């Protein structure tokens, strides 16, 4: 494969052209208008790749990008302004400030499940912080990848923002070997994340990894079962379960299991009709490889709802598996599909023990009215982020940092956290000439008591 030269991007960044706030705002507004003008084309591409409805495409992709862009544009001048901080007694009368510098030329690698917003929201932040950016869309969502390349090339010079399409395993390694990026932002599987991390380590390139894991839903006996069922159904079967923060499995108190399963079944029918294959709102599996992997899970428990599938349509209906053994394969892998295992527990301690079998999930969901139970779970469980009495919606709140922990990722973004991620703090202390006490210079002999008072 031909080597891709990114030297012009380094030269453009080094010229300082991307650094002024006026330039950044101009580019962000251009990007925002580009997305608005191509809203119909974006929805069409997402339908081709994942069978997303126009409404789902807007709510989970285009709309999220536009909302966060509006928020960023309204605050960018404030965030980019040097921040004054306190100065220690030993440095009086100096003044201290923290500046935010761009990182340089960054690489953004996106997944296939939300192939538009998971590349465009990081791009928006990279532009806001004053960087140049290389974008690598997922080849598994070809319609969206092609559209993104066409859109970006139409308004940005390729020495500023550049889209590089192609198979990731063929495109990314040569890029990382031939060019030193200043940051890599990767969203995708843990397996590929490890490979990216290894490649980046050779050149000491900092990396943000947005990965996944087995995100549990714990349902306590005091939960409102009807509301709980609707919120679980929404979070689980959005995008046919192909969401990194989708509920991966249910941990439901044994006293309410049957009632909850029945309520979820009713919610599925309410949301997607009794024939989800014909539903306006129900998606498809990304490809045959993933389809076959998911169908292989169906014998890991008793199918108590759904289980219907058609490889010719890449369709697997909303499915609930009961009586799943914690040792089953489906309880070791992130499912990333429309199959929901159900496991019962007798008490909170037992539930916590099950969660710790797959530690540090990207998301955690708890349904209860009991604040003591909430406090116990939050205190004792490590997870990237989550909801109490809800699922998935925390992702849409750009005031919250989004990211994983340990095996589910490193680094956070959204809102100001995105701006901070794609910039670096630079510390500057300014000292006047008029005050220059001799105590600050050698010899220090005999000054220990005075030094302890100054620094102590």
- Just list the catalytic residues: 210, 244
Beta strand residue intervals within 400-441, DSSP E = 409-410, 423-430
* Gyration radius from the chain CA atoms: 25
| First vs last C-alpha separation in the chain | 61
Q: Are 261 and 342 in contact (CB under 8 A)?
A: yes
Helix, strand, coil share of the chain (percent; to 5): 45, 20, 35
Q: Is the peptide bond before 214 cis (omega within 30 degrees of 0)?
A: no
Cα–Cα distances in Å, from 247 out to 30, 156, 216, 365, 391? 36, 38, 6, 8, 7
Q: Helix 168-178 and helix 190-201: axis angle, to 10°?
A: 20
The number of helix segments (H) and strand segments (E) in the chain equals 16, 18
**Pairing state between β 315-316 and 309-310:** antiparallel
| Residue 61 DSSP label | I
């Amino acid at each position: 494969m031909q080597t891709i030269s990114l030297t012009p991007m380094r030269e453009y960044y080094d010229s300082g052209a991307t650094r002024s706030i006026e330039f950044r705002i101009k580019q962000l507004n251009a990007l925002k208008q580009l997305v608005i003008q191509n809203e119909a084309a974006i929805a069409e591409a997402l339908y081709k790749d994942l069978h997303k409805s126009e409404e789902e495409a807007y709510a989970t992709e285009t709309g999220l990008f536009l909302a966060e862009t509006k928020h960023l544009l309204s605050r960018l001048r404030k965030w980019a302004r040097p921040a004054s901080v306190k100065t220690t007694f030993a440095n009086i009368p100096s003044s201290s400030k923290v500046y935010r510098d761009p990182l340089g030329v960054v690489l953004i690698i996106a997944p296939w499940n939300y192939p538009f917003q998971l590349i465009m929201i990081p791009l928006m932040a990279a532009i806001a912080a004053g960087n140049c950016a290389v974008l690598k869309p997922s080849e598994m969502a070809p319609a969206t990848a092609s559209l993104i390349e066409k859109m970006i090339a139409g308004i940005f010079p390729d020495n500023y923002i550049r889209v590089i399409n192609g198979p990731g395993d063929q495109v990314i390694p040569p890029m990382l070997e031939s060019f030193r990026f200043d940051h890599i932002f990767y969203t995708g599987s843990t397996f590929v994340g490890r490979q990216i991390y290894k490649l980046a380590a050779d050149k000491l390139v900092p990396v943000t990894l947005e990965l996944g894991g087995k995100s549990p839903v714990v349902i306590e006996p005091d939960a409102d079962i009807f509301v709980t069922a609707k919120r679980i159904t929404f979070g689980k079967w959005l995008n046919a379960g192909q969401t990194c923060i989708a509920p991966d499995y249910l941990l439901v108190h044994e006293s309410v299991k049957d009632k909850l399963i029945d309520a979820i079944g009713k919610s599925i029918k309410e949301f997607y009709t009794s024939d989800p294959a014909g539903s306006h709102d129900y998606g498809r599996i990304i490809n045959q490889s993933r389809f076959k992997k998911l169908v292989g899970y169906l014998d890991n428990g008793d199918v108590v709802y759904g289980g219907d599938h058609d490889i010719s349509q890449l369709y697997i209906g909303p499915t609930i598996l009961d009586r799943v053994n914690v040792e089953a394969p489906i309880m070791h892998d992130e499912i990333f599909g429309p199959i929901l295992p159900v496991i019962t527990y007798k008490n909170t301690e037992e539930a916590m023990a099950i969660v710790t079998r797959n530690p540090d999930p990207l998301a955690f969901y708890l349904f209860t009215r009991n604040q003591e139970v909430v406090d116990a779970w939050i205190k004792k469980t490590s997870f990237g982020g989550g909801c109490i009495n809800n699922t998935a919606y925390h992702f849409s709140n750009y005031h919250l940092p989004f990211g994983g922990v340990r095996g589910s990722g490193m680094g956070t973004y959204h809102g100001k956290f995105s701006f901070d991620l794609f910039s670096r703090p630079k510390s500057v202390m300014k000292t006047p000439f008029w005050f220059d006490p001799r105590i600050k210079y050698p010899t220090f002999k005999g000054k220990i008591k005075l030094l302890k008072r100054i620094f102590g």
